[in-house]
Structure 1
Amino acid sequence: MAHVPAFPGPTVAAIGERLFGRIDELADELTAAIRAAEPFYDAGNVVPTADLRSSIHDNLVYILSRLAGRATSDLGPPRATGRRRAEQGAPLPAILHSYRVAGTHIWSAIVEEGLGLDGNAEALLPAASELWSIMDELSSSVTDAYRETVVELTRSHAQTRNAMLDVLLHGDTGDGSRLWESAAGLRLPRQGVFVVAAAHAERLGAESIPHAEEALRARDIESAWRVEIDAHVGVVVLTPRNTIDRLCALLADLAGGPVGVSEQYHSLEQTPTALRQARLAYATGAQTERGVIRYEQVPIAVLLASAPDAAANVAHAVLGPVLALPAQECQLLLATLRAWFAEDGATSAAAAKLYLHRNTVRYRLRRVEELTGRSLTRPNGIAELHLALEAARILQIPM
């Protein structure tokens, strides 16, 4: 078996040393070559030319040290490049392309030096394999550092956005400057027409409306959202074109459950009040149903949701005898009563809705009157039964 000399061998080591001697010249050449080959770097406004050259110089030190046979294991230069480019917003494909351009340029320099040194091209073959191995190693390191930094930046960005939204949603306890700084950071106008939306979360800490900001922005609606423990909440900007009705229609399509929407307001200082309104509105909806509930359109339900203990007392005080019936009978009576209210007290319409004979509906309504002692022909009885029925629905009292 032929003896294979250990890398780098005298020829390659000599070339590595000679190239090390002209490292500044190579850094200049490579800077120009990369800017010519990669459009992203040619712009020069995201990654300044001096920054690019400094990174190239540091990476060349590592590459040429390896080729010259100098002991080195410091992958700091490519990792620093990856971190810095991620912070600058450079695309990863452009970074990796620049490393491929660098590898080709360095190989040309090796060949040129090697032929000028002893003209023995065969002696350069080990350098080719080693050079591309080094470039792969550098590319992997820069990629790892880039992705790690992107994750860190994303986490930091999310934390910053949450902090800014917290100022909006829960109020600025200082002089008000943080409110306007937060609005600017979230790209919300200081004055305008706003609403707060609160969507029911199926799981703790989950988005109820997937990618809400992007989904609304695609429809020219600006907003800022965050996930809270029990709800997905957002501040939404309305315009003459993007009205409250259009927003509610979109939210109904996008959300998988109930969404509460506050009254419209005109100053971000009113956002905490609007958040309470949106939460109360969404609390009045059945969690298993989709739909948008506007705060100002459901005053009775909002009143009950805002005082759950009192609402529970009303439900049990008025409907207690009905709730005490066997579950099936209780559900039949309350479903009939609910249909009667939904049809504005029209017995025939309620019967058609329930696919029942009108006499069956009359019988069930009389049964409710007998059990509760409330009359559906008197205003007080109608009001109390309606309030109790809504309280039972909102609080999901077992029936």
Structure 2
Amino acid sequence: MVQLYARELPHLVNDDESVVSLLSASLFQNIDTALRIFQHGIDPTRVEAPAAAMEYARRLAQRGTPVVDLIRAYYLGQTAILNYALTEAAEQIHDSQVLGAMMSKALTGTFAFIDRVTQQVVSAYQEERDRWLLNRNAVRAARVRELLDGDMFDIDTLETALGYRLRGTHLAMIVWHAVEPKQGNALASLQSVTAAIAECLQTAGAALLVPADERCAWVWFPLEKVALPDEDHVQRVLAKAEPTVRLVFGDPADGIEGFRRSHRQAERVHALSTAAGEQCERALTFRDVGAIALMTADLSAARSWVADTLGALATDDEQHERLRETLLVFLATGSSYTAAAARLTMHKNSVQYRVRKAEETIGKPVIDNRLDVELALRLCRRLGTAVLAKA
């Protein structure tokens, strides 16, 4: 079995001697337990995973070995044992009915045993991984909070403690679950999203991820080339992630002050996304919504300002939403009816009609207060019910 793993999962065998010894003990105890199940007719669904198997799972969790490797090891072992057993049975049992019954019992019993044990060892793995990460991240989180607060520190010591380069260019991201994920293990899923986002960035090292709470993480990417993640790549990552995942980015910035500034920007956009609720886009950048994000510090004041600027146009219903969207596109295209019609795929006359109706609803020509109106419309688009008046 160890030789099989050496071929299929070599990193499990080419490891620290104590860990490989624990692997061997786990294999021996699992095989011994399986054989006793068949020998004594024990119900495999009531068997507890051997102690060495549970400890080996915990040790892999501490070393950061992917849980899929642990699961694969069990199914590789199951396949090898069944192949050996069925080959021996075919040679030794000549009664076809007995052979068929034996094969059926071997397959059913083995699958039940492996299913039972893998559930237990994977649970032990996840619990240990969460505990290990929590303890390690608690120290890193404290260091990062000190850095964000501007406390005095030695940069070399702090870089060593964090395992992250502070002297370069940083891009801050906040990634979180908008609601409690159904599958649990929220931190692991946020780590996966972070790793996927990093794939489209030219970085000078691994990202720094620090849990802010049980559903949210602060992230910094050490950039080699200053750039925001590709929008299409981000959308592909989110499409594969749990639907509860949201993320926001600050702007890239240099040095320790840039580390702080990019994070503060991401925090403002995070506040915007949280205020907007479920209808908000799943990914936002400070570069795109910075001006709006700065207004969410006082949401009540922003709501009053929107009402003063847009009047009845800030009513939360489909009719006024259509008028707001048309007017916003009209303003964003340089007040061109033709360009707005092309973007909205509407007839030019329809755009003119909606713009006129929007102005009537506001109660004054848009040209008198164009910048405020456009900003208020963008607030409505991003925040929705958070700043709109009930119909």
| TM band (smaller chain) | 0.5 to 0.7
Q: Does the 8 Å CA contact 1:183/1:190 hold for their aligned counterparts?
A: no
Aligned residues: 308
Q: More deviation in 286-295 or 388-397?
A: 286-295
* Contact 1:201-1:232 at 8 Å conserved across structures: no
Query: Which residue pairs with 1:176 in the alignment?
Result: 153
C-alpha offsets along residues 68-101 of structure 1, whole Å, 9 cap, x if unaligned?
xxxxxxxxxx73686378537698759x99xx9x
- For 1:267, the equivalent position in structure 2 comes to 255
Deviations 1:11-69 (A, max 9, x none): xxxxxxxxxxxxxxxxxxxxxxx9999968998971269x88xx89xx9xxxxxxxxxx
CA contact (8 A) 1:252 1:290 kept: no
Return the match for 2:237 from 254, 264, 273.
254
CA shift, 1:382, in A, is 0.5
> CA shift at 1:346, angstroms?
0.8
Task: Give the aligned partner of residue 268 of structure 2.
Answer: 280
Pair 1:301–1:48, CA change in 2 (3 A):
closer
CA distance in 1, matches of 2:17, 2:213: 38
Counterpart AA for 2:233: L
Match of 2:35 in 1: none
The 5-angstrom pairing of residues 274-313 of structure 1 reads: 274-284=262-272, 287-288=278-279, 290=281, 292-313=283-304
3-state SS, counterpart of residue 244 of structure 1: coil
Q: What's the counterpart of residue 223 of structure 1?
A: 207
Q: What aligned pairs does 1:371-390 form with structure 2 within 5 A after superposition?
A: 371-378=361-368, 381-390=369-378
Q: 1:340 to 1:165 in 2, by over 3 A?
A: farther
Provide closer, same or farther for how the CA distance between residues 212 and 288 of structure 1 changes in structure 2, counting only shifts above 3 A: same
1:393 to 381, 384, 389: 381
1:304 Cα offset (Å): 2.1
Pairing 1:330–2:320 present: yes
Please, which of 311, 316, 327 is the counterpart of residue 320 of structure 1? Answer: 311
1:33-72 alignment runs, 5 A limit: 46-47=16-17
TM-score, normalisation: structure 2:
0.58
1: distance between equivalents of 2:198 and 2:346?
47
Unaligned runs of 5+ in 1: 1-33, 60-77, 101-135
1:137-216 alignment runs, 5 A limit: 150-167=125-142, 170-172=145-147, 175-176=152-153, 179-184=158-163, 188-199=164-175, 201-204=177-180, 206=186, 211-216=192-197
CA 1:264–1:346 in structure 2 vs 1: closer, same or farther (change >3 Å)? same
- State the shift of 1:159 in Å: 0.4
* Aligned counterparts of 2:248 and 2:354: Cα–Cα separation in 1: 33
User: SS where residue 264 of structure 2 aligns?
Assistant: helix
Q: Deviations over 1:178-207 (max 9, x none)?
A: 8434422xxx22322211112463423657
Task: Give % identity.
Answer: 18
SS at match of 2:179: coil
Mapped to 1, the partners of 2:328 and 2:5 lie a distance apart of 68
Change (3 A) 1:318 1:294: same
Cα distance in 2, alignment partners of residues 213 and 159 from structure 1: 17
| Paired letter, 1:238 | L
What is the distance in 1 between the residues matched to 2:120 and 2:160? 31
Structure possessing the higher radius of gyration over alpha carbons: 1
Does the Cα contact within 8 Å between 2:314 and 2:380 map onto a contact in 1?
A: no
Deviations 1:205-242 (A, max 9, x none): 657867124424656753244474665542222113xx
Contact 2:269 2:289 in 1 (8 A): yes
Any conservation in 2 of the 1:263–1:277 contact (CA below 8 Å)?
yes
Amino acid at match of 2:193: A
The answer (yes or no) to whether the contact 2:58–2:129 under 8 Å persists in 1 is: no
Cα separation, 1, equivalents of 2:336 and 2:167: 47
Q: Gaps (5+ residues) in structure 2?
A: 30-49, 81-109, 240-244
- How many Å separate the matches in 1 of 2:54 and 2:175? 39
Q: Give me the TM-score of the superposition, normalised by structure 1.
A: 0.57
Q: Distance in 2 between matches of 1:42 and 1:291?
A: 38
How far apart are 1:335 and its partner, in Å?
Answer: 2.4
Structure 1 pair 169/344, CA: closer, same or farther in 2 (3 Å)?
farther
